Amino acid sequence: MIEIHDVHKSFGQLEVLKGIELTVDKGEVVTIIGGSGSGKSTLLTCINGLEPIASGRIVVDGTEVHAKSTDLNRLRRKIGIVFQQWNAFPHLTVLENVTLAPRKVLGMGKAEAEEIARTQLAHVGLGDKLATYPARLSGGQQQRMAIARALAMSPDYMLFDEVTSALDPQLVGEVLETLKMLAEEGMTMICVTHEMAFARDVSDRVAYFHKGVMAEIGVPDQIFGDPQHPETRKFLASVR
Amino acid sequence: MIEIHDVHKSFGQLEVLKGIELTVDKGEVVTIIGGSGSGKSTLLTCINGLEPIASGRIVVDGTEVHAKSTDLNRLRRKIGIVFQQWNAFPHLTVLENVTLAPRKVLGMGKAEAEEIARTQLAHVGLGDKLATYPARLSGGQQQRMAIARALAMSPDYMLFDEVTSALDPQLVGEVLETLKMLAEEGMTMICVTHEMAFARDVSDRVAYFHKGVMAEIGVPDQIFGDPQHPETRKFLASVR
Amino acid sequence: MFDTALSSADLIFLAKGAGMTIVVTAISVAIGTVLGIVFGVIRVQLGTVYAAPLTFFLDIFRSVPLLIQLVLANAFMGMVLRLQFSGLTVACMVLSLYTAAYCAEIVRGGIDAVPTTTRRAARSLGMTWGQDMRHIVLPLATRVALPSWIGLALGVMKDSALVYVVQVTELLKSTQILITRLQEPMFLLLICGVFYFVISFPLARFGGYLEKRWSND
Amino acid sequence: DKLDDIISSGTLRCAVVLDFPPMGMRDANNEPIGFDVDYCKDLAKVLGVEAEIVETPFPERIPALMSGRVDVGVASTSDTLERAKTVGFSIPYFAFEMVVTANDKSGITSFESMKGHTVGAVAGTFEGIALEKQVKAWGEGEYRPYQTQADVFLALSQGQLDATVSTSTVAMASVNSGKFDGISVVGKAPFDTDYVALFASRNEYGLINYLNLFVNQQIRSGRYAELYKKWVGGTLPSLTVPNAYR
Amino acid sequence: MFGYTFQWNQALARLPKMLDGAVVTMEVAVLSMLIGILCAILLTLLRLSGSRSLRAVATGWVEVARNTPALFQIYMAHFGIASFGIHLSPFVSLLIGITFNNAGYLAENFRGALKAIPDTQIRAGRSLGMSQTQAFRYIIVPQMLRISFLPMTNQMVWAVLMTSLGVTVGLNSDLYGVTQDLNALTFRTFELFAIAAVIFYIITKIITLSARLIAARLFRY
Ligand SMILES: Nc1ncnc2c1ncn2[C@@H]1O[C@H](COP(=O)(O)OP(=O)(O)OP(=O)(O)O)[C@@H](O)[C@H]1O
Ligand SMILES: Nc1ncnc2c1ncn2[C@@H]1O[C@H](COP(=O)(O)OP(=O)(O)OP(=O)(O)O)[C@@H](O)[C@H]1O
Ligand SMILES: [Mg+2]
Ligand SMILES: [Mg+2]
C-alpha cells in the first residue's frame, strides 16, 4: 500500500506539490491526469525517493520513504518506475539492460537473471531482440524494454510517467497494450498519462492534478462523465 | 497551378515514387495521407526542386522545375515549404528568422521586411515574440514561426510536410488552426498529414499514397466515407 | 638527396631519446589520468562552489606555459626545498599534474554527458551511487571522453619536448645534440619530425575512429 | 661540509656545457669530451672520486647548481659580479678572447663594420650580453639571441645573421669544422677578456678554497698548458689581471 | 624554513621590462589568431573542395600541425624556411609557427562544427530561395562560429602559452624571452619565473573572461 499524506515539495521558490493526499491499495490502478507542469512527474519521483520532499509523509508498505533511516536502494527494488524519456542503457544489449539490476542489486547469478529477463522480455513482446542494442530499437520497443527492466526486479508497485508521450502515434498502441496487460494481471500501478481512453479503460480511480493540487479524484466514469471541479471540466474539454 | 506528370524517383536501388500524376489548381487544398515511407515527403521536396527526379515532369505555373534552364532559387520564392522537423535558425530572433529571406533573397529593405514579418507573425499569433530566440519557443510556436517565415516570401503555393507530427498533443491544435486559416484565405496548399480530422475538414481533395504509388484520390467524403482501394481501407482502419 | 654523416650509433642515440620521450609520456599520462579521474569525479560531486579551490589549482597548470612550470618546479624543488630530485622526476611530476588538469576537465565533460534521466533510471532500479558510477556512468562517460583523452595523451607527448630544460634528454634534445655535432639541422629535424608524426598519427586516427564509431549509437 | 660530502659520496658531479666546442662537446659515440670535461676529470682525480658529467645548457648552469643537481660548475662561466650574488666563484681557470665571425656575403670586415647589421650570439652569455649593449649603443641594426651556439652558427651560415661575436675557441672550431659554408673569422671584438671560473655554492668556503688551489696547481704543474694544447692550440692566455690582486 | 633567500625586490624591479614583454606576447598571440582563423576557414573550404590535390594539401597541413610539437613547428619556421634562402625575423618566424599551429587545430574544429549543424538547416534556407552561398553565409557560418567559439578561446590561450617558445628562434622581446634574459643576468630564477607565471596566468584569465563576455553579447540564443 502506498500512502501519501500532505506532501509539499518546492523547487527553489516554486511550490510544485501543495499538500497531496492519496492512498493506493494493493492491486489498484490509479491514473493521474493534468496539465503540463502540474506536478505529476514530481510526485512519482518523490514516491520512490529520487526527490526529497519538504513536508508530509510518503509510506510504502509501512516504510516511510523519506525517513533518514530508510535504505532507499532496498525500497526502490519494490517500486518499479518507467519514465517518459526512453532511458535505455545504450552500452548494453537488451538482455544486459534487463539483467544488470537483478545481478548487481539482488546479487542474482547470471543464468537466473537471464531466465527472468527472457520471461519478462517475452512478456512485453521483445523475445526476439535479446542481443540487440537499444539504438536499434524503435521508441516503443525501448519503452517496452524499460518496462521489462523494471519488472525483472519483481516490484510490488509500478509507476509510469507518460510512457507514451514521446512516441510516434503508431507506436503508442503497443506500449499501452503492455500496460493494460499488467493492470489485468493485478499489478499495483500509478500511471501518469495523456491518453484519456486508456485512463478510462484501465483505471480503478483517476486523479486530476492542477497546479500542484489534486483537484479531484474518482472512478473513471465519474471523472470523465461528470467532473466536479471546473478545472477538470476545462482540461477534459481541451484534450478531447 | 502545379502539374505532376508520371514522376519517378529512386534513392539508390529503392524506387520511392512510381509514376505520380497529380494536378493542383489555384486555390485548391490537397491533402496527402499514407503510411510511413510511402514517398509523401519525397514528393514535396521534388516539387520545389530540393530533390532531382528520375523521369517525368513537374510544372509550376508553366515552369518546368527540373529543367536545366530553370532558376530554382527564383522558383522557390513562390513555393513555401514547412517541414516536420522544426528548423528555425537558432541564431536569429523570431523577427530576424522571418526577415532574413525577404532581405537577402528579395533584396528588401530592413523596414519593409520587418513590416511584412510583423504582419505575418501577428497572423500566426506570434506578434508578441518578435525579439525571442527560437530556443525559447515551444514546438508549436516554432512551427508557426516557420509558417510565417515561408509566408513572408509571399509564395503562391504552400507545401506542408507533417507539420504537427513532432509536436506534443497539446500543441497540435494551434498549428492546425493556422493551416485552416490559410486554407480559408484561399492559399493553394499541399499538406501531408496524419491528422485525419484535419484532412477531412480542410481539403478539397485527399490523396492516399501507398508504396510510392498514389493509390486513390478523391473528395474527403468519398475517401473517408467510401474508400475504393483495399489499402486505403486498411490504412484508415488502423489510424482510427 | 642528403649526404649525411649520421652513423648507426647516432641512430641508436636518437632511439634512446625517443625512448625517453615515450617513458616520460607514459609515466605522466598514467599518473595524470588517475589523478584526473579522481579530480574530475570530485569536481562533479562537490559542485561548482565547493570545488572552486581545486578548480583554481588545476587551472594554473592550463594557464602558465609548460616551460615556465618546469623551470619553476625545478627551481622550487632544488633551490628552495633543497630536495635532490632527478630531472626525470621533476619532469614527470610537472607533466603528471599538467595531464591531470586537462584530464579532470575531460572526465567532468564525460560525466556531464551522461543524461541525468539515464542515471535516475539506474538509481530507481535500486542501484547504489557506486553501482551507478561503475556500471552506467563510467562506461558511457568513457565513450565521450576517450577520443579527447587520446588527444590529450598525444598532446602530452608533443609537449614533453620541453622537458629538456630540466636536463632530460628526450627526442628533440637528442636531435639537438646531434645537430651540434653533425651540423645537419634540416635533415636531423626532419627525422625527428617524422618520428613524432609516426607515433602520433596512428593514435590520432584511432581516436578519430572511436569518435566516429561511438557517435553512431 | 660540501667538500667532505663529495669525498665521502665518491662522485664529483660537474655541470658542463656540451654544445660549446672545444670546451665541451660530444665524440662520435656521443660521449662528452673537451677541455672542461678533462678539467672536471682532473679535479675528481685529485679528490680521489669518480667524475660525473651533467650536461647543462648555458642558461641552466647556475640553476643546476642551485637545485643541488651538481656539486661544481666547470662550464666556462664568466665570473660577473651579478652572478656572484648567487654563486661563489673560484679564481679564473680559463680566459677567452672574443672574435667576430661574419657571413662572407655581408661584407663585414671588422667589429666596427657590424654596425647596422643583424647580429647575434648565445642568449645570456658574457659576449651575448655585451653585444646586445653595443647594438643598443650603435642605435641601429638588430640583435638576436639564440639558445645554443649551434643555432647561432646555423643562423649565420644561412645568412639570417650577418655576424656574431663568440669566443675565439668556438669560432675557430666551428669555422674549421667545414660544416658551415661561407663564414669566416674577420677580427677581434674589443670586449674585455672574458675570464671564466669554476663555481660552487656561495657559502661553501672550504670547497671554493680547494678549487682556487686546484686551479693554481693546474697551472704550476703544466697540466693547464697541456690541456690547452690538446683542445685549443696557440698562445696560452694569461689568467692574471695586470695591476690587480685577486 | 627554506635554505633559499628570496629576493623579490630584485625581481620586482624588473617588472616594467617584463610587462613590455607581455605586450609583445599579446601581439604575437592576437595576430596569430586573426591570421590563423582566416587560414583555418580557407583550409576548411579546401577540405570540402572537389580537387583531390587541394584537399591533400589542406589535410597535410592540418595533420602536421596537430601531430608534431609546436616547438618543432616554430623551429622549422625559422631555420627550415631559411634553408630555402628566405630570412625571417624571429618575431615573424614565431608568428608563422604559431599561426600554422592555430590554423591546423582551428580547421579541425570548424570541420566538427560544420558536422554538428543539421543539414535540414541548409534545406530550410534553400527552400526559402537562398542560393548555396547565401545559405552558407547567413545560416551555417554564424552557427559554426558559435559552436567553435569555446575551442577558439582555448586556442587563443594556447597561442599565448606558445609564445614562450620564441626564445628558440632568437626572440627575446616577448615575456618569456625577457624573463630568460633577466635570469641570465641575475640568476634569480625562482622569483623571475614566478612573476612571469603570474603575468601569464592573468593574461589567460583576461582572455577567457573577455571571451565569455563577448560570447554573452554575441550569442544570445
Ligand atoms: N529539477 C527541477 N528543478 C526545478 N524545477 C523543476 C524541476 N523539475 C520540475 N520542475 C518544475 O516543477 C513543475 C512541475 O513539474 P513536473 O515535471 O512535475 O510537471 P508535470 O505535471 O509532470 O508536467 P508534464 O506534463 O509537462 O510532464 C514545473 O513547473 C517544472 O518546471
Ligand atoms: N535521402 C534519402 N536517401 C535514401 N533514402 C531515402 C532518403 N529520403 C527518403 N528515403 C527513403 O525513401 C522512402 C520514402 O521516404 P519519405 O520520407 O518520402 O516517406 P514518407 O511517406 O514521408 O514517410 P513518413 O510518414 O515516415 O515521413 C523511405 O523508404 C525512406 O527510407
Ligand atoms: Mg512530467
Ligand atoms: Mg515524411
The per-residue pLDDT of chain C, averaged, comes to 86
pLDDT the model gives residue B202: 87
- Name residues contacting ligand 2 (CB within 6 A): B 11, 14, 16, 34, 36-42, 162
More confident residue, B190 or A170: B190
Domain at E67, CATH number: 1.10.3720.10
Complete edge-to-edge strand list for the sheet that includes strand B205-210: B79-82, B157-161, B188-192, B29-34, B205-210, B213-218
Mean pLDDT of D201-217: 92
Per-residue pLDDT of E18-58, as tens digits, reads: 999 999 999 999 999 999 999 999 999 899 888 899 999 99
Q: Do residues B133 and B93 lie in contact, with contact meaning Cβ atoms separated by under 8 Å?
A: yes
Domain count along chain E: 1
- Distance in Å, CA A41 to ligand 1 centroid: 7
| Per-residue model confidence (pLDDT) at position D232 | 84
Read off the pLDDT of residues B101-118 as tens digits, 9 standing for 90 and up. Answer: 999 888 899 999 999 999
| Residue C3 binned pLDDT confidence (cut-offs 50, 70, 90) | low
Residues 6+ apart with CB under 8 A from D207: D1, D2, D3, D6, D71, D72, D200, D201
The three three-digit cell numbers of residue A113, written as one number: 537473471
- Distance between CA atoms of residues B191 and B207, nearest Å: 10
Contact E79 C196 (CB under 8 A): no
- The Cα A14–Cα A10 span in angstroms is 5
Query: Is the pLDDT at C112 greater than 70, yes or no?
Result: yes
Q: Does D237 touch chain E (CB under 8 A)?
A: no
What are the phi and psi torsion angles at D12 (to 5°)? -110, 120
Region A33-47 average pLDDT: 89
Residues 6+ apart with CB under 8 A from D196: D76, D77, D78, D79, D92, D93, D94, D95, D96
CA dihedral (B176, B182, B184, B189) positive or negative = negative
What's the pLDDT score for residue A240? 62
- Predicted model pTM: 0.79
Report which listed range, A58-62, E76-80, E127-131, is most confident: A58-62
pLDDT tens readout for residues E176-193: 999 988 887 777 788 889
pLDDT in tens, E207-220: 999 999 998 888 77
Whether E8 is in a domain gets the answer no
Question: Does residue A54 lie in a domain region?
Answer: yes
Quote the pLDDT of residue E163.
94
Residue B43's CATH number? 3.40.50.300
pLDDT at C11 over 90: no
Test the B interface: residue of A84, A167, A170 with most B CBs within 10 Å:
A170
d(CA A59, CA E102): 61
Cell numbers given for B14: 529503392
Ligand number with the minimum distance to the CA of B39: 2
Q: Does A115 fall in a domain?
A: no
Burial of A167 (0-12, 13-18, 19+ CB in 10 A): buried
How far apart are alpha carbons A116 and A131 in whole angstroms?
Answer: 15
**Predicted local distance difference test score (pLDDT) of residue C1:** 40
Please give the Cα distance from B24 to E139 (Å, whole number). Answer: 32
- Beta strand D163-167 with D118-122 is parallel
Q: What is the mean pLDDT of residues A56-65?
A: 91
Report residue E1's pLDDT band, with 50, 70 and 90 as the boundaries: very low
Q: How far apart are CA E81 and CA B59, in angstroms?
A: 60
User: In a 10 Å sphere around its CB, with 0-12 CB exposed, 13-18 middle and 19+ buried, how is residue D97 labelled?
Assistant: middle
Please report, for residues C88, C92, C192, E54, the alpha-carbon distance to residue C21 in angstroms, rounded to integers and kept in the order given.
Answer: 11, 11, 12, 34
Pocket test for ligand 2, best of B14, B43, B163 (most atoms within 8 A of CB): B14
A-C contacts at Cβ under 8 angstroms: 64
Residue C124 contacts residue A87 (beta carbons within 8 Å): no
Ligand 1 atom closest to Cα of residue A12: 4
Q: What is the DSSP string of A175-237?
A: HHHHHHHHHHTT-EEEEE-S-HHHHHHH-SEEEEEETTEEEEEE-HHHHHHS--SHHHHHHHH
pLDDT digits (tens, 9 = 90+) for B53-80: 999 999 999 889 998 888 888 888 889 9
- State residue A157's pLDDT score: 93
* Domains along chain C with CATH numbers: 8-215 (1.10.3720.10)
Locate the ligand 1 atom nearest the alpha carbon of residue A39 and give its number: 18
Whether E91 and E28 have beta carbons less than 8 Å apart is answered as yes
pLDDT number for residue B234: 87
Count of domains forming chain A: 1
- Ligand showing the shortest atom-to-Cα distance for residue A36: 1
**Is residue A99 over pLDDT 80?**
yes
Full strand arrangement of the beta sheet holding B14-24: B14-24, B2-11, B55-60, B63-64
Confidence of residue B97 (pLDDT cuts 50, 70, 90): very high
DSSP for chain E reads --SS---HHHHHTTHHHHHHHHHHHHHHHHHHHHHHHHHHHHHHHHHHSS-HHHHHHHHHHHHHHHHS-HHHHHHIIIIIHHTTT----HHHHHHHHHHHHHHHHHHHHHHHHHHHS-THHHHHHHHTT--HHHHIIIIIHHHHHHHTHHHHHHHHHHHHHHGGGGGGGT--SSHHHHHHHHHHHH--HHHHHHHHHHHHHHHHHHHHHHHHHHHHHH---
What's the Cα-to-Cα distance from B18 to each of B33, B208, B210, rounded to whole Å? Answer: 16, 14, 10
- Inter-chain touch B101–E129, beta carbons under 8 Å: yes
A101 at interface of C, judged by CB pairs closer than 8 A: yes
End-to-end Cα spacing for chain D: 24
What letter would DSSP give residue D114? G
The chain B residue lying nearest A170, using CA atoms, is: B239
Closest CA to B132 of B157, B166, B99, B95: B95
Contacts of E121 in chain B (CB under 8 A): 87, 89
- Name which of A168, A170, A194 is nearest B169 (Cβ-Cβ): A194
**Contact (Cβ atoms closer than 8 angstroms) between residue B113 and residue B103:** yes
Contact D30 C7 (CB under 8 A): no
- pLDDT (tens digit per residue) in D64-109: 887 778 899 999 898 888 888 888 999 999 998 889 999 988 888 8
DSSP, collapsed to helix, strand or coil, labels residue C4 as: coil
Q: Is residue A74 part of a domain?
A: yes
What spacing in Å lies between the alpha carbon of B147 and ligand 4's midpoint? Answer: 17
Domain that holds residue B208: 2-84+157-239
Written as nine digits, the cell of E211 is: 571571451
* Count of C-beta atoms within a 10 Å radius of residue E121: 18
C-alpha cell at A240: 478531447
Range with lowest mean pLDDT among A54-68, B209-223, D49-63: D49-63
Q: Give the atom of ligand 2 at the shortest distance from the alpha carbon of B40.
A: 21
Residue C182 has a CB neighbour count (10 Å cut-off) of 19
Write out the H or E segment, with its range, that includes residue B123: helix B110-123
Q: How high does pLDDT run on average in chain A?
A: 88
Mean pLDDT value across residues D108-137: 89
Tell me, what's the ipTM? 0.75
Is-cis flag, bond preceding C185, omega within 30? Answer: no
Q: Quick check: is B113 in a domain?
A: no
Mean pLDDT taken over chain D: 88
Distance C62 CA to ligand 4 centre (A): 49
What cell was used for A107?
546479487
pLDDT at residue C74 in the model: 84
* Model confidence pLDDT, tens digit, residues C23-81: 999 999 999 999 999 999 999 888 888 889 999 999 999 999 999 999 888 888 877 77
* E32 found inside a domain: yes
Which one has a higher pLDDT value, C83 or B192?
A: B192
- Half-sphere exposure in the Cβ direction for B93 (13 Å, CA): 15
Q: Does A111 map to a domain?
A: no
Give me the pLDDT at residue D246, please: 62
Q: What tens digit of pLDDT does each residue of E100-122 get? A: 999 999 999 999 888 888 888 88
Q: Is residue B127 predicted with pLDDT exceeding 60?
A: yes
Residue E6 domain flag: no
The pLDDT tens digits for C118-128 are 888 888 888 88
**Sequence-separated (6 or more) residues with CB below 8 Å from residue E137:** none
Interface residue of C120, C123, C124 to substitute, partner A, most A CBs within 10 Å: C124
In a domain? residue E90: yes
Whether residues D87 and E187 touch (CB distance < 8 A) is answered with yes
Is residue A100 one of the residues assigned to a domain? no
Single-letter residue type at D203: N
Largest Cα separation within chain C, whole Å, is 71
Residue B125 maps to a domain: no
Domain assignment present for residue E5? The answer is no
Per-residue pLDDT, A110: 92
pLDDT at B48 over 80: yes
What is the number of the ligand 1 atom nearest to the C-alpha of A41? 22
pLDDT score recorded for residue E180: 87
Give the pLDDT confidence score for residue E188 in this predicted structure: 79
CA distance E39 to B43: 41
SS3 (DSSP) at B174: helix
Q: Is residue A201 part of a domain?
A: yes
